[in-house]
Amino acid sequence: MANVVVVGVQWGDEGKGKIVDWLSSRADVVVRFQGGHNAGHTLVIGDIEYKLSLLPSGVVRPGKLSIIGNGVVVDPWALLSEIDAIRAKGVTVTPESLVLAENATLILPMHGALDRAREAARGAGKIGTTGRGIGPAYEDKVARRALRVCDLAEPRVLARKIDDLVFHHNALLRGYGAPEFDRDEVLRSVTEVAERILPYAGIAWARLDAERKAGKRILFEGAQAAMLDVDHGTYPYVTSSNTVAAQAATGSGVGMGALNYVLGITKAYTTRVGAGPFPTEQLSEVGQYLGEKGREFGTVTGRKRRCGWFDAAMVRQALKISGVDGVALTKLDVLDGLPEIQVCVGYRLNGGRIDYLPAGEEAQAAVEPIYETFEGWSESTRGARSWAQLPATAIKYVRRIEELIERPVTLLSTSPERDDTVLMSDPFEAR
């Protein structure tokens, strides 16, 4: 049976949480492999809504193993708070059901403070980070000074690393005129949280190897999306990690051969949170309609999302970079009732036509979308679970998207409810 990687192929918020939760009924193990608690996945099961940031979406299903991989940066206080929140809703989380990679990097309060100080200093040039310390934690990881989960079990290493981190970050905070951190207070708070975090620590790569050998199905869950990738996204308006499918291997400790099928998630329209280029953005009644009907507010920050038409050129680019095999199209029901729908099929730039989003900042800001117009539909698609329940014009829209992005739509989501999904082919059965 195939192991499946799920990645977003727009700017995030595509509905990955629901799709991963839906797929997890077929999986034995669900793995988060990058990002931090800047991710926001909302699951709706019956009349209960779960908002997850660090925990893999499979955690709400009994009998599934959840793994937070080494590619994730983990705020231990945020993780414990999230565990407590879903326990209050009846979900059981124990060290037997959740494994935290011992070599995952930790986020400390000083990281968040630096993140926010930088954004404030940028003024109008803000990147639009969540201010939760994700970027500074990844910086420490690359600079080889990061505190890792395994360090919590070694008091002398822990004390030495905190000395280095406080020295480094206080110098930066001082430069921004921001409050500095007391070394002893940082050490005390980290030592206290270690007692609750260490029971979840484990050798994630070895556990995944054992699960593979046992024939278990593994689902790798990405956060953010391909166009927020630090290498391939709309730089510098990106996240601080690699979000494309190949990161599933590096960020969890498995070989590339373990990644059998890549499922890309995309909305039937486009949204973006924060600053950065957005060629198909609609600063109009259409954008307002999509935002209100789609309930487009960030799970983590509550920020209103920018909304616009589907960008087939950008999605096609993201699919190729991630090696996507099939696509899950979400929120088709949000388009219900629109008399006319547009899709971007390419861009105009400097008098010519291009079929990709360029890398340069000025070029990205200058591209003009080329649209293809579709007839809308008045019938409701919400809750549809088969092609037969969809209006003919909605089916035509989906089929044209398949042609434009050069990949098949294998899953179609028609509401936040877990079972309101049209399945064309099961990714776990792929060969």
- Residues identified as active-site: 13, 41
d(C-alpha 224, C-alpha 244), whole Å: 9
Residue-level length of the chain: 431
Q: Across 191-240, where does the E strand assignment appear?
A: 201-202, 218-221
d(C-alpha 177, C-alpha 185), whole Å: 20
Helix axes 155-175, 134-142, angle to 10 degrees: 120
Neighbour tally for 223: CB within 10 Å: 28
Token representation of residue 247: 């990161």
363, 348 contact by CB (below 8 A): no
d(C-alpha 290, C-alpha 282), whole Å: 9
Token representation of residue 175: 């430069």
Neighbour tally for 377: CB within 10 Å: 22
Question: Taking the mean position of all CA atoms in its chain, how far away is CA 242?
Answer: 11
220, 5 contact by CB (below 8 A): yes
Question: Taking the mean position of all CA atoms in its chain, how far away is CA 76?
Answer: 19
Token representation of residue 147: 């505190």
Beta-bridge partners for 310: 343
